[in-house]
């Protein structure tokens, strides 16, 4: 798979019109992420737009609720024919197992391929300090992220979302077939902003990431296409 196909660009804009403008600016991007802001604003029509352009879709709504509600949301989301869907690992084992069963049912009902579920381990905006002092979680952050990923894998979830700083540890523990997607990745020339646990794209791929989510360094650049191309060129793993 080409490096360009392993970089997911988020449509983190408030309207469908702005999202379509980004799609028009970046026709070379094959994989797009739709998150809460845009999906709440536009609903499934933006997913239909992406599908009509033969794009891959990461539906990043981070479902987190009781098992029955998570399952219902995953079943509905799977009907859209998206490629990736997120659910918080902290919803617990019952919710994770129900979510995996539900995407299989929803995809079958709509005659779609089964999307891959990704468990959110620890949000990349959280630091070790906030985990310990705000959330009162006694584990060290890497240990906690690994626990969340292993629990998800035990429940049949095929992948996880983690910080690039945890990806090497998760890859070693979860094996080569477990899908690892890393947001919070920043090229050396970009500002980290609200991301706390970052690596460069090349470092993240070398550590074992399957896909990277890279937004603002591309979408807010003066020339988004040139920024995307530069990141692709800089991302080839040495190892």
- Measured distance CA(220)–CA(225) in Å, rounded: 11
DSSP β-ladder status, 211-213 and 159-161: unpaired
Q: Is 136 a catalytic residue?
A: no
- Choosing from 55, 62, 97, 136, which is the catalytic residue? 62
Give the total residue count for the chain: 239
Query: For residue 189, with 0-12 CB atoms within 10 Å meaning exposed, 13-18 middle and 19 or more buried, which class applies?
Result: exposed
Q: Which residues are catalytic?
A: 62
């Amino acid at each position: 798979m080409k490096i360009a196909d392993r970089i997911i660009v988020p449509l983190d804009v408030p309207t469908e019109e702005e999202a379509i403008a980004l799609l028009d600016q970046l026709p070379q991007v094959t994989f797009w992420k739709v998150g809460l802001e845009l999906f709440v604003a536009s609903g499934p029509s933006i997913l239909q737009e992406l599908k009509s352009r033969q794009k891959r879709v990461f539906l990043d709504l981070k479902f987190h609720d009781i098992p029955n509600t998570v399952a219902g949301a995953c079943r509905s989301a799977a009907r859209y024919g998206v490629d990736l869907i997120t659910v918080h690992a902290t919803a617990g084992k019952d919710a994770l197992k129900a979510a995996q069963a539900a995407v299989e049912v929803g995809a079958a009902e709509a005659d779609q391929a089964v999307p891959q579920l990704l468990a959110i381990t620890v949000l990349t905006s959280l630091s070790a300090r906030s985990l310990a002092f705000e959330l009162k979680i006694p584990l060290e952050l890497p240990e906690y992220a690994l626990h969340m990923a292993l629990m998800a894998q035990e429940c049949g979830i095929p992948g996880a979302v983690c910080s690039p700083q945890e990806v090497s540890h998760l890859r070693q523990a979860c094996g080569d077939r477990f899908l690892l997607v890393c947001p919070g990745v920043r090229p050396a020339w970009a500002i980290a902003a609200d991301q706390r646990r970052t690596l460069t794209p090349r470092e993240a791929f070398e550590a074992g990431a399957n896909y990277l989510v890279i937004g603002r360094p591309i979408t807010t650049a003066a020339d988004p296409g040139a920024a995307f191309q530069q990141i692709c060129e800089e991302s080839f793993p040495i190892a």
